[in-house]
Amino acid sequence: MTTTTVTEQEEARLYDELRRVLEDVEEGEQRQKMLNHMIRQLKFAKWRKEQLRRFNPYRQDVRPVTLWIMLAIGALMPVVLFSIFIWVSLWVE
């Protein structure tokens, strides 16, 4: 799927950026800070890729009708909840 391709490209870009940063920055505290920052970014990219991998089978099986139903429910839910709130508040008075 295109999402995994995008995440793999992003991970490869982060590894390339890490390599360039390590070549550019001299030894010492600044290099350690940059290294820790890039390692955190790589861990987050890897975590996000694993999280998205769990939802791939579900997203592939979603039909357009199901998607439209989910969108309609999501759009109408605030209206329904607000109407219930108004009805209850009038009933309580």
Looking at residue 80, its pLDDT comes to 94
Mean pLDDT across the stretch 8-12?
79
Cβ–Cβ < 8 Å for 49, 12? no
Residues 32-63: tens digit of each pLDDT: 887 788 788 888 888 888 877 777 776 677 77
What tokens does 27 get? 């030894």
- Helices then strands, counting H and E runs in the chain, come out as 3, 0
Looking at residue 88, its pLDDT comes to 94
